């Protein structure tokens, strides 16, 4: 049996196995075959990302802080009191002892409005910070989603190239087998071709494993394995300002929170007011001669004022601590800006390197195509061999594999650069 007949038998076996697999899959319920057979637009996937628990957590926290800001402007609950005053124990009565009376009182603390505004401002700025953190996290998740789409396209392209290379190696195997039978080549070359084909099968197996891993990551992000066409990856313009970076925006928002904390500590020196009002009622005396007295009603009212007498031990240390916290936040903002700029430069270098390498690889492809054309002319004229043509086509496929890798590297670096920049920079 010749090699070509053996390969044909193998091909028929593969077709039979695939047909059986198709029949088995058709018997499985649709819900068990795949998480999603629906084609999603990228906009729909972005909407699903908005529903990611990590994003919703920031939204809930921001909403809670805004409620706290609203509550901080309200007054504390008033105090209502009622009871008996100067009630005798040995001879209990409300009509025999002159000082005995019933009362109902009301008191209300009135914290300084500047303090309430400072507390409210702190919560509002914390809410703004939560919004920024949510936006930054969404940008990271969106970049991750696009990265998965890029990687899936790369896997599909690599799989096609591997199959084309396998076909070319099959042709080269057949030619080498013929040349070996005529004594024009050795067994070593035939073995080398077989080794290459084994490597291709291993690569195809690895690509299938990577695709399964991608499916798991898709489910984690958007809950489905979408059939979505990848949008174009365009680099966002950067205005050169550090505050355009998401991480620096978040760090700057933290500085604003500490500014509000300093304001809160400063207004803590101001006094708080309070009011109180008590209505008292005495019953008319009756019985013993010394217990005869008229009933009467009277009221008591007053205003309270807090005085920061112990400010050296309380308010001043708290103010110093708040200012130091602000200084720490400012230093952290500077460190964050340096890190963001460093990341930008690093990703930019990766992107430029990938673009430069792509130019080199594409020029090599053009050069090999010209050589193939030359060998093809010689072969068609009867003065050349077909082997150099196959080897050239295999070399182009190898270069195309590298081109896919560099495109993925370029687009991934672009995504990372884009995720650094705030949408409202």
DSSP codes of every residue in 114-170? HHHHHHHHHHHHHHHHHHHHHHHHHHHHHHHHHHHHHHHHHHHHHHHHHHHHHHHHH
User: Measured in whole angstroms, how far is the alpha carbon of residue 398 from the centre of its chain?
Assistant: 36
pLDDT of 37 reads: 56
- Looking at the structure of the chain, the number of domains it has is 3
Q: Is the same domain home to 80 and 104? A: yes
Contact 86, 101 (CB under 8 A): yes
Mean pLDDT over 403-423 rounds to 93
Structural domain contains residue 425: no
What is the spatial distance between Cα 20 and Cα 17, in angstroms, rounded to a whole number?
Answer: 5
Q: Is the same domain home to 312 and 334? A: yes
pTM of the model: 0.79
Most confident of 52-56, 331-335, 373-377: 331-335
Q: Is the same domain home to 281 and 315? A: no
Q: Quick check: 29 pLDDT over 80?
A: no
Q: Is the same domain home to 69 and 80? A: no
Structural domain contains residue 25: yes
Q: Any idea which of 15-24, 253-262, 298-307 has the lowest mean pLDDT?
A: 15-24
Q: Is the same domain home to 316 and 400? A: yes
What is the spatial distance between Cα 110 and Cα 272, in angstroms, rounded to a whole number?
Answer: 6
Structural domain contains residue 400: yes
Q: Residue 18's pLDDT band (boundaries 50, 70, 90)? A: very low
Q: Is the same domain home to 283 and 220? A: no
Longest dimension (CA), the chain: 148
Q: Is the same domain home to 253 and 343? A: yes
Which CATH number fits the domain that encloses residue 58?
A: 1.20.1600.10
Q: Is the same domain home to 168 and 279? A: no
Residue span of the structural domain in which 301 resides: 76-110+272-305
Q: Is the same domain home to 367 and 240? A: yes
Q: Is the same domain home to 141 and 257? A: yes
- The mean pLDDT value of the chain amounts to 86
Q: Is the same domain home to 93 and 185? A: no
Question: Which of 283, 305, 327 is where one domain is finished?
Answer: 305
Q: Is the same domain home to 287 and 138? A: no
Contact 311, 269 (CB under 8 A): yes
Q: Residue 183's pLDDT band (boundaries 50, 70, 90)? A: low
Structural domain contains residue 181: yes
pLDDT of 289 reads: 60
Kindly report, residue by residue over 377-394, the tens digit of the pLDDT: 888 887 777 888 888 999
**Tokens matching residue 117:** 């505004």
């Amino acid at each position: 049996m010749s090699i070509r007949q053996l390969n044909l038998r193998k091909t028929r076996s593969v077709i039979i196995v695939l047909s059986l697999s198709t029949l088995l899959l058709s018997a499985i319920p649709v819900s068990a075959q795949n998480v999603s057979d629906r084609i999603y637009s990228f906009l729909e996937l972005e909407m699903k990302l908005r529903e990611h628990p990590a994003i919703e957590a920031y939204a809930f926290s921001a909403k809670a802080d805004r409620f706290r800001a609203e509550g901080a402007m309200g007054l504390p609950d008033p105090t209502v009191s009622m009871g008996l005053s100067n009630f005798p124990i040995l001879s209990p009565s409300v009509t025999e002892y002159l000082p005995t009376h019933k009362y109902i009182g009301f008191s209300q603390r009135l914290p300084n409005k500047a303090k309430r505004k400072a507390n409210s401002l702190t919560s509002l700025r914390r809410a703004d910070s939560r919004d920024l953190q949510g936006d930054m996290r969404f940008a990271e998740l969106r970049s991750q989603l696009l990265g998965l789409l890029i990687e899936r396209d790369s896997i599909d392209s690599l799989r096609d190239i591997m199959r084309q290379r396998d076909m070319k190696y099959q042709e080269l195997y057949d030619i080498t087998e013929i040349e070996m039978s005529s004594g024009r080549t050795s067994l070593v070359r035939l073995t080398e071709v077989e080794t290459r084909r084994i490597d291709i099968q291993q690569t195809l197996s690895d690509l299938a494993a990577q695709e399964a891993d991608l499916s798991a990551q898709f489910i984690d992000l958007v809950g489905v394995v979408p059939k979505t066409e990848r949008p174009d990856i365009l680099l966002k313009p950067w205005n050169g300002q550090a505050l355009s970076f998401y991480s620096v925006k978040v760090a700057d928002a933290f500085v604003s929170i500490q500014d509000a904390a300093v304001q809160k500590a400063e207004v803590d020196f101001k006094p708080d007011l309070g009011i109180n009002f008590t209505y008292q009622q005495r019953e008319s005396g009756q019985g013993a001669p010394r217990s005869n007295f008229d009933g009467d009603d009277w009221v008591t009212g007053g205003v309270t004022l807090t005085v920061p007498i112990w400010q050296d031990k309380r308010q001043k240390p708290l103010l110093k601590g708040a200012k130091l916290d602000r200084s720490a936040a400012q230093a952290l903002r500077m460190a964050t800006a340096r890190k963001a700029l460093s990341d930008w430069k690093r990703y930019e270098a990766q992107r430029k390197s990938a673009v430069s390498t792509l130019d080199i690889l594409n020029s090599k492809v053009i050069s090999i195509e010209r050589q193939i054309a030359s060998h093809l002319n010689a072969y068609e004229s009867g003065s050349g061999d077909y082997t150099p043509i196959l080897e050239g086509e295999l070399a182009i496929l190898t270069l195309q594999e590298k081109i896919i890798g560099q495109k993925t590297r370029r687009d991934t670096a672009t995504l990372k650069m884009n995720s650094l920049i705030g949408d409202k920079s």
